[in-house]
Amino acid sequence: MADRRPTLADVAHAAGVATSTVSRAFSRPQRVNHRTRERVLAEAERLGYVPNPAAQALESGRTRTIALLVPDITNPYFSGVIKGAERGAANAGLTLVLGDTAESSAAEAQLVRRLERAVDGFVIAASRLTDDELRTAATRTPITLVNRATAGMGCVVADYDSGTHQIVDHLASYGHRSFVFVGGPAESWSGARRWQGLQAAAAERGMEVRRSGPYLPTLSGGPAAADAVLASGATAVVCHNDILAIGLMRRLAERGVSVPGEISVVGFDDVFGADFCHPTLTTLAERTEDAGRRAVELLVTQVPLRQAGGPTRVLPTQLVVRGSTGPVTSM
Amino acid sequence: MADRRPTLADVAHAAGVATSTVSRAFSRPQRVNHRTRERVLAEAERLGYVPNPAAQALESGRTRTIALLVPDITNPYFSGVIKGAERGAANAGLTLVLGDTAESSAAEAQLVRRLERAVDGFVIAASRLTDDELRTAATRTPITLVNRATAGMGCVVADYDSGTHQIVDHLASYGHRSFVFVGGPAESWSGARRWQGLQAAAAERGMEVRRSGPYLPTLSGGPAAADAVLASGATAVVCHNDILAIGLMRRLAERGVSVPGEISVVGFDDVFGADFCHPTLTTLAERTEDAGRRAVELLVTQVPLRQAGGPTRVLPTQLVVRGSTGPVTSM
DNA sequence: CAAGAAATGGCAAACGCTTGCCATGTGACC
DNA sequence: GGTCACATGGCAAGCGTTTGCCATTTCTTG
């Protein structure tokens, strides 16, 4: 068997040419005679030659690898981003390294340091780093961001302006005149954007909106949020994300409050589960898979050019109306 | 700023030693004088030296990277495996490359080929390859398997023997005398193990069990399965996995069949969502995160030794009883 | 105090590939 | 026929490490 893997030199020897010719046969097709190239490729195929990525990376400085950093791999919101990034990387012939930053900015910074020599660029989702930290890191290795806009860097964000309008319009159509925003973590960039959008949309509609929280963006954050909402007498709530919304609905059910009969509930993300919780959840869907893919594409365009900064891509959002919202009951 | 990254030679120069000494200061601490080592490390720190992984890999043949291959990144069952593997890799100071095989054996084989030069080993979850293909691949690069046992290779599997007994005991305790197994894909190794276990446990209990399917292991597989179950007149069903179970319950609800009133439903996996679907789902939980972590640990022990084969680790499972199961109603 | 062992550090050769530069061969053009 | 440009392929110098081997120094030991 292959006691030793064939190298460039083996192929060169077999084809009767120099290693440089073999190398160029692969990387610069037009730099070598058509017939020579054929021969080299045939030999390479016959020997089962596969280039050694480490050696390629050493000389060229390119690893053909990019890293994706997410705060929590198991959060279904990021599953889509991961899948999209994986797809995008595969399409571009790149290998994807996955890093979990455990929702910690320290872990995130450490991971960036540890990987920056090993990868050609980063896609960072929901980064916890400051704008300055990000920009500093970006001077060493290209970075694009998902769900976080930082001037001068490539970013892919969801269109919350439009999305929050959709939510507000939907609630208004059911006769709601006010609602409560159940907030997530204070540091969350997307949380801030959502709240801004909701305020603006509500203002346009002349609706009243209050904010509650912050709460944990998890199922366990639900009970506290639910109780606060009940105390407020709201007819509708918009939650920081679906998980929180589901936790909240569960608590409301325990307390005998009907959804959407007495309170309408809207979430964000359209995560796995939003269509089979009870009641099914009206939520603003983001194309997370697209976001991951686009972020990789954006990164790829940056890498060769080493251009400073990058454009921001805004991805559409869609309101998915399900069972958790309904008309106001004037009791 | 750092117009050029510091190399071993820079550190060696600054510390007044040879590059070999710097290298050893890092990799073979006892091979170098304590005081010299201190000095070297201090200089390295001061210069912000980070070793170039490509160069390390080139000479040593070790990339300090492992790959995790899963059939579908977005499947919540694998989220736990991914997280565990990521944790395990981080603990071992390894970088984790993630690959999605798109539930295709061809894609899986291709990914293995593409990555085998770039990683020190593979963890493959729910592999679609044949035993022979796996063993062949394992001769070139160490491999451990999750949820798939293949003789001569390191494997981490869930204890379905015990788990299926728990399920059957639970159903029996509610008075069920028979149940239907709603099967998933025919090629699924874990599906086969589950079915075997259920049959054995049912036989011990003197319970009758039939098999239905195969069905798609997705929400959309649920309706067909539900209708078949209804036609069978079963009082209890055990589904190939939670997603299928949830899809099935949804269909039952549409058809006005009460769960667990008329039919009890049990799933496998305890995926995200099993505790907030309606009714909440009784299911056999696997420690998927542990599985991922253990698989990496197993791989790590194999890598340096290059030992052929490896042990099989069996992880416990726990029945999580929720709302979808209940006593038989003798109508 | 001599002789051998251990500790320590340096030299230089890989590792497998890319790439700048040069040599040769070929055809085009005047 | 001579000059030039261009196409093609080879040479060899790295890229930043690791590591086998040797030289030197220091420590033991009898």
Superfamily (CATH H level) for A160-286: Response regulator (3.40.50.2300)
Which residue in B55, B63, B74 is closest to A79 by CB distance? B74
Chain B: residue whose CA lies nearest to A95:
B97
pLDDT of residue B263: 93
Would the CATH topology of B65-158+288-316 be identical to that of B160-287? yes
Lowest mean pLDDT among A207-216, A299-308, B11-20, B199-208: A299-308
Domain B160-287 belongs to what topology? Rossmann fold (3.40.50)
> From the Cβ of A60, is strand C under 7 Å away?
yes
Collect all residues from B whose CB is shorter than 8 A from any CB in A: 1-2, 5, 50-55, 57-58, 63, 65, 73-74, 76, 79-80, 82-83, 86-87, 90, 95-100, 113, 115, 117-118, 139-140, 219, 246, 250, 272-273, 275-278
> Between the CA of B113 and the C1' of C20, what is the distance in angstroms?
33
Chain B residue numbers touching A273 (CB-CB < 8 A): 272-273, 276-277
The reported pLDDT for the residue numbered B249 is: 94
A130 touches strand C (CB under 7 A): no
Of A223, A205, A204, A203, the residue nearest A213 (C-alpha): A223
Q: Could you say which of B51, B55, B278 has the minimum Cβ distance to residue A58? A: B55
Chain B hits for A1, Cβ within 8 Å: 139
Has domain B8-51 been given CATH number 1.50.40? no
- Is B222 within 8 Å of B251 (Cβ atoms)? yes
The percentage of residues in chain A with a pLDDT greater than 90, rounded to a whole number, is 48
**Residue ranges of chain B with pLDDT lower than 70?**
1-4, 303-310, 330-331
Whether pLDDT at A1 is above 50: no
Mean pLDDT over residues A161-186, rounded?
A: 92
Q: How many angstroms separate the CA atoms of A168 and A238, rounded? A: 9
Can you give the residue ranges of every domain in chain A?
8-51, 65-158+288-315, 160-286
How many Cβ atoms sit within 10 Å of the Cβ of residue B206? 8
- Better-scored residue on pLDDT, A38 or B316: A38
User: Of B49, B51, B18, B50, which Cα lies nearest the Cα of B32?
Assistant: B18
Number of A/B CB contacts below 8 angstroms equals 122
Q: How many C-beta atoms surround the C-beta of residue A16 within 10 A? A: 11
Asked if residue A13 keeps its beta carbon closer than 7 A to nucleic acid strand C, the reply is no
Check if the beta carbon of residue B314 is closer than 8 Å to that of residue B163. Answer: no
Supply the pLDDT for residue A207.
94
CA distance to partner chain B, nearest, from residue A208 (Å):
31
CA distance B197 to chain A (A): 29
Is nucleic acid strand C under 7 Å from A118's C-beta? no
* Chain A residues inside the 8 Å CB shell of B53: 117-118
Buried b (16+ CB within 10 A) or exposed e, A248-271: bbbbbeeeeeebbebbbbbbbbbb
| More confident position, B91 or A240 | A240
Query: Burial code of B127-154, b = ≥16 C-beta within 10 A, e = fewer?
Result: bbbeeebbbebbeebbbbbbbbebeebb
Give the angle subtended at the CA of A3 by the CAs of B299 and A19, to the nearest 5°.
110
Verify whether the Cβ–Cβ distance B86 to A76 is below 8 Å.
Answer: no
Chain B residues lying within 8 Å of A116, measured CB to CB? 50
- Distance between CA atoms of residues A233 and A322, nearest Å: 22
Angle value at C-alpha A218, between A212 and A224, nearest 5 degrees: 40
Per-residue flag: A139 CB under 7 A of strand D: no
The tokens for B67 are 């790959």
B54 touches strand C (CB under 7 A): no
Phi (first) and psi of residue B77, to 5 degrees? -60, -40
With contacts defined as CB-CB under 8 Å, which chain B residues touch A246? 276
Nearest residue by alpha-carbon distance to C1' of D19: B20
> Can you give the distance from the CA of residue A10 to the C1' of nucleotide D20 in angstroms?
25
Q: In the prediction, which pLDDT does A310 show? A: 62
Q: Give the Cα separation of A319 and B10 in Å (integer).
A: 57
Q: Confirm if B15 and A18 have CB atoms less than 8 A apart.
A: no
Closest residue in A to B274 (Cα–Cα): A273
- Taking the CA of residue A172 and the nearest CA in chain B, the distance in Å comes to 28
Average pLDDT of the residues in A138-146 = 89
For residues A34 and A282, give the distance between their C-alpha atoms in angstroms, rounded to a whole number. 60
From the list A2, A76, A115, which residue is nearest B95 (CB)?
A: A115
- On strand C, nucleotides with any atom < 7 Å from a protein CB are 7-12, 14-20
> Is the pLDDT at A305 greater than 70, yes or no?
no
Contacts of A98 in chain B (CB under 8 A): 82, 86, 96-98
pLDDT of residue A306: 44
Do the beta carbons of residue B215 and residue B184 sit within 8 Å?
Answer: yes
The residue of chain A nearest to residue B117, with distances taken between CA atoms, is A52
**Which of B95, B242, B246 best tests the A interface by mutation, with the highest count of A CBs <10 A?**
B95
Please give the backbone phi and psi of residue B139, each rounded to the nearest 5 degrees, phi first: -70, -20
Architecture of domain B65-158+288-316: 3-Layer(aba) Sandwich (3.40)
Please judge whether A83 and B99 are an interchain contact, meaning their C-beta atoms are less than 8 angstroms apart: no
Do residues A312 and A158 lie in contact, with contact meaning Cβ atoms separated by under 8 Å? no
Phi, psi of B224 (to 5 degrees): -60, -45
Give residue-wise pLDDT tens across range B162-174.
999 999 999 999 9
Handedness of CA B88, B90, B92, B98 (dihedral sign): positive
The chain A residues in contact with chain B (CB within 8 A) are 1-2, 5, 50-55, 57-58, 63, 65, 73-74, 76, 79-80, 82-83, 86-87, 90, 95-100, 113, 115-118, 139-140, 219, 246, 250, 272-273, 275-278
**With a 7 Å cutoff on the CB, does A20 touch strand D?**
yes
Residue with minimal CA–C1' distance to D12 is: A20
Q: Å between B64 CA and C13 C1'?
A: 24
Q: Which fold has domain A65-158+288-315?
A: Rossmann fold (3.40.50)
C-alpha neighbours within 13 Å on the C-beta side of residue A168 = 26
